[in-house]
Chain A
Amino acid sequence: MPSIPLHPRPSAPRDETHNPLPDLLQTPSGLALLELQGTINFPIQDASQPEDGPSIALDPDARSAIYETPIGKLMFPDYSAHAAPDDNRWMKRAYLYVGRYQRMTGEVKKLPKPLAIIQRCPKQLGPDDASEELEVVEIVKYKLIFKNRPEPVNDA
């Protein structure tokens, strides 16, 4: 494949799901970045690494079904939707609860260089068309970063 086009705008319509993140982290497509030191392990992921496209779940019941596994909760303790938009002090603190008893402290950071999120174009009608096309789904400028170890917390 000598030349693969990379389209500058996504072809899919925007996701209208309510976005609970602070305005600064919201993007037109709704995508946001979260950086974590370490990994979140899931049993299914080990079997088939979903590098490109959807993975095939091992469980036959789960095939073609989308499900979500709760990990924890995200919290921006100093954030207020009513604060002035240029007041960015809230960015200094963010919490990620993992399960009920562990908490990671992190922050919201502006990326040194914006990151483009790229995916393969959803296939148009005509599956015989083997040509591959890519598109920029979103350009993100901020990320949530949790680089510290989790600390134990009391649930109560």
Chain B
Amino acid sequence: MSTQSVPSILFTHRSPQHGFRLLELPPDLAELLASDNPPTLELKSLTQSSATAPTTTPTPEYVNLCTPTKTYSIRQVQSSNSLHILTPSTGGAVRKHDLSVVGEAEEQEDVDMDRNLNVEGTVTSIAKCGSTLELHTPSEGFSATEFLSAVVKVYGEGAEIDDAGKWEGDVDMQSDENGNTAWILDGLFADIPVSKAQCERGWEEMCGFVLPPRAGEALASAVSSYCWHPSAAKKLEVWKRIAEGSVLQGIDLGKQFLVRDLWKSVLDDDGNEPFPMPLFKAVVGRIRGSGDGVIGDLKWASIDKDGCVRWVGETYLEATAPGASSAISEGELLDAWRDQLPESWRDNVSLSILPETCYMHPEPKSICFATEADRQKVKKNLPTDTSAATAAKKTRNWHELFKNQKRQKR
């Protein structure tokens, strides 16, 4: 078949070229972007300032792509093929005598170019990409806790601000009205390379709280100086006050109660605050039942019994036996754990409700808290050859695909 009779499209190369990047979209992200009202995505990386401690090993440079709720790690994949990005062109920027390269239009410059070349239009290459960006979600997911605890100061290890305890909050819980807390949190989360929803979850998990500057004080530029998370011992202390206060005031933690009433029950006899109210709210937020509204808006709450019992056990273990050297016996843990709880919740205590990753048995009958580093170790021992092979098949990365075969030959 003679193809010369078929109308064709003139293909040109435009100079100067344009800067583009190609990003491969997983199905869920493609769907999100194609929706009627797609959210603005964010590219987040760990900043220098958040990797403060000079002693830590240099963190690898990376960028994560975040939707409001999800996080993907970005990997640049080189291709031996070149990908050209085409755009329609009027052909006006083509020099007439250059066309001799593609056809015999040279001698008849006055004749209409399109008809003579039998072309019905022009497309031009405006960019060339040698690589694409692929998105990945590691199987263990992303956790903001690790990043947050690196930036946020620990409350309760002698590092309190000098006026801790004197913090003047509004007992009526209206302190958020000026929006400072929300603003500070937004600033804090902007530096954490995971999505905002995951940041919020991590923040709630670690009982993070904000001590905003008092009215009239200017905001410091480093928002992390207002952000705290309590030590395990501090968390336990807060819980103790809550448990005692609720008994004294006859508040049933399992049912809906006014958070304000609980806060009043926690105060000293002369009305002094034993700890800042934002910390109190953070702890209540951590142990309350789901469906009680968002963090900032804690008016009514009820405590999720099972979750709270688990949390108290975990926190107690972290506070008293943070490592293998300080391990305690299982019986000791169970007894102390029960003592932390209201009378009617005591029967719920059992080792089996603790999340498996949170503790270790250095010896058969003793138990201690598993730190983040210990958990990482356990995780690394886990992956089996089969899972690695299937993962390699999915990524079209032939290094990973053949890695296992090489190993077997040896």
> Range of interface residues on chain A?
35 or more
CA distance A34 to B47 in the complex (A): 36
**Counting CB contacts under 8 A, is A127 at the interface?**
no
CA distance A73 to B101 in the complex (A): 10
**Counting CB contacts under 8 A, is B86 at the interface?**
yes
**Per-residue 0/1 for A63-92: is the Cβ within 8 Å of any B Cβ (1 yes, 0 no)?**
000111111111111000000000000000
**Counting CB contacts under 8 A, is A39 at the interface?**
yes
A134 touches B43 (CB 8 A): yes
A8 touches B39 (CB 8 A): yes
Given the interface pairs A77-B6, A118-B22, the reply to whether A37 lies near B83 with Cβ below 8 Å is no
CA distance A40 to B82 in the complex (A): 9
B16 touches A57 (CB 8 A): yes
A113's contact among B25, B82, B87, by CB below 8 Å, is which? B25
B43 touches A67 (CB 8 A): no
A54's contact among B17, B20, B40, B99, by CB below 8 Å, is which? B17
A31 touches B86 (CB 8 A): yes
Interface centre among B12, B16, B103, B128 (most CB of A within 10 A): B16
The chain A residue sitting closest to B105, CB to CB, is: A70
B88 touches A62 (CB 8 A): no
Contacts of B354 in A (CB 8 A): none
Contacts of A143 in B (CB 8 A): 83
Measured CB to CB, the closest approach of chain A to B268, in angstroms, equals 41
B15 touches A62 (CB 8 A): yes
B11's contact among A96, A117, A139, by CB below 8 Å, is which? A96
B34 touches A20 (CB 8 A): no
Contacts of B83 in A (CB 8 A): 33-36, 143
Given the interface pairs A37-B80, A54-B17, the reply to whether A68 lies near B12 with Cβ below 8 Å is yes
**Counting CB contacts under 8 A, is A2 at the interface?**
yes
- For chain B, residues 163 to 178, give those with C-beta under 8 angstroms from any C-beta of chain A: none
Given the interface pairs A69-B13, A71-B13, A116-B25, the reply to whether A4 lies near B19 with Cβ below 8 Å is no
A-contacting 9-mer, from B115-123, B240-248, B312-320, B331-339: B115-123
A74 touches B89 (CB 8 A): no
Binding site for B on A (CB under 8 A): 1-9, 15, 17-21, 29-40, 42, 44-45, 50-57, 62, 66-77, 95-97, 99-100, 113-120, 134, 136-137, 139, 143, 147
Binding site for A on B (CB under 8 A): 1, 3, 6, 8-27, 30, 33-34, 38-45, 47, 65, 80-91, 93-95, 98-99, 101-103, 117, 119-125, 127-128, 132, 190-191
